[in-house]
Structure 1
Amino acid sequence: MRDAAGFKLIETMLCMSGDGFPLMESHMSRLRASASALGFALDERAARAGVAAAAGYSSPGAPLKVRLLLSSDGALDITAEPVELEPAAPPRSVSFSADAADSADPLLRHKTTRREFYDSRLAEARARGLYDILFLNERGEATEGAWNNIVAEIDGALFTPPVSCGLLPGVFRQTLLERGLAKERILSERDIKNASALYCCNAVRGLVEVSLVGGFQE
């Protein structure tokens, strides 16, 4: 049945054997904030118990990706699956989309199942062998990838676009900011192209070095 809001909230968490969920509190904080802002019912105790139960079915020692879906009426759907964490490798390729993201779209600041804009463009990018597809907003400012936040190394420091550019406040991104490992800064397409190093990041994969290749439509 379709959710009354037309979409659901998502949290995708990494569970490590022995360490549990290293970013659990950050995930729950974001889920609470989004549920409150969008009028979703949330029983956080049930959410935490469901996540722990889903992780309990895993094989010992296997890292897990645990996915929580929250409907507007508070219904929870939680699944878990093994995930292979990526070893060190040459930078994966990314490119810019020809389509601009709308920085005024309020749902970009929440992780939801309303992903048609991103998913269609990611599918095209994957068909070209790309790791992710990056977006600029209507002002030409870098925002995020289809499934990652963006981090650029410029003059020896790490920078990531501010949420005001139109992007998800990713949990791993927030960890980098809170620990003083990165700072917010508006990044142009030129900034991204000229960065000494470029990374994609999310809560499951962490920081992955990427390499920018030519425009989306070459």
Structure 2
Amino acid sequence: EYAECRAKARIVLDRGPRFDLVESLLWRAGGGFYLLEPHVARLEDSAAYFQFKFSAENLRKALLDFSARPPQGDSKVRILLAREGRLVIRSESLNSITGATLALSAKPVKKSRFLLHKTTHREQYAELLQEHRGRIPGLTDLIYWNEAGLVTEAGFANVVVDIDGVFCTPRVEAGALPGIFRQYLLGLNMVEEREIRVGDLVRARNLYLINSVRGWMPLMRAAREGVWTIMGDLNYETDGARIRHGVRGVVSQGVER
């Protein structure tokens, strides 16, 4: 019976879109991979869910080979896993994205299993972003929300909102990817999961994006409602007071509206 269920699942997956599984890691010059094991575990979980062939041992060996000839500076390392188990590892220099523009999506995202896994199948996000770029010049990414009006995530990062002095992040059940840096901060009790509505996002005094490659990215409101500018990145701080102090520092340099 179990084998029959797996066979039926295989048929459904084979009829679906072709895609690879993805992990993006931070390579720190002189420090190695940041939060490596949680990334390996997440890739293993997604491979099991989508029935991809995967060997954690082979991945670690490939990453060890990579680290034997490392980039000169901090880099973003991207891992692609194909269904048959083929691994591709690429790296690129890690440059700051300070000044990038984000906006709140004008439309909700539809529920999908792909939202809970990091893959190359991102058509829903890509289509929404393309629609918005026609109205907002220079737009880098969107902050998304679901059909229940709950904030989920940005296209490349999780969302954190400072609500009454508590760092809050949307629940995975709302449609947020279980990001590695997000999980790390939850484990430190630095952030907590909460239902966050679009109105909470718009009214928030302090708003951030987070991921394990760029760390904390504080946002500042732009003149146009529902649009923000990234005011910094490459900050992996785990002290809440320092995060808030840093955000106040950058916000004071602009005109908050």
Q: Answer yes or no: same fold by TM over 0.5.
A: yes
Structure 1: runs of 5 or more not aligned = none
Find 1:192's aligned residue among 185, 201, 225: 201
The answer for the alignment partner of 1:174 in structure 2 is: 183
Q: Distance in 2 between matches of 1:200 and 1:130?
A: 15
Which shifted more, 129-138 or 17-26? Answer: 129-138
Question: Which of 1 and 2 has higher RCO (CA within 8 Å, sep 6+)?
Answer: 1
Which shifted more, 28-37 or 43-52? Answer: 43-52
Find 1:16's aligned residue among 19, 24, 28: 28
Q: Distance in 1 between matches of 2:68 and 2:59?
A: 14
Q: Secondary structure at the match of 1:201?
A: strand
TM-score, structure 1 as length reference:
0.87
Find 1:94's aligned residue among 84, 98, 102: 102
Pairing of 1:97-112 with structure 2 (within 5 A) = 97-103=105-111, 105-112=112-119
Paired letter, 2:27 = C
Identity %: 35
Q: Distance in 2 between matches of 1:70 and 1:78?
A: 9
Structure 2: runs of 5 or more not aligned = 1-12, 228-257
CA RMSD of aligned residues (A): 2.1
- Asked if the contact 1:155/1:196 (under 8 Å) is kept, the reply is no
The answer for the alignment partner of 2:245 in structure 1 is: none
Find 1:56's aligned residue among 68, 71, 81: 68
The answer for the alignment partner of 1:36 in structure 2 is: 48
The answer for the alignment partner of 1:158 in structure 2 is: 167
Q: Distance in 2 between matches of 1:199 and 1:214?
A: 16
Q: Secondary structure at the match of 1:77?
A: strand
- Asked if the contact 2:145/2:151 (under 8 Å) is kept, the reply is yes
Paired letter, 1:9 = L
Q: Distance in 2 between matches of 1:195 and 1:169?
A: 22
More helix per residue? 2
TM-score, structure 2 as length reference:
0.75
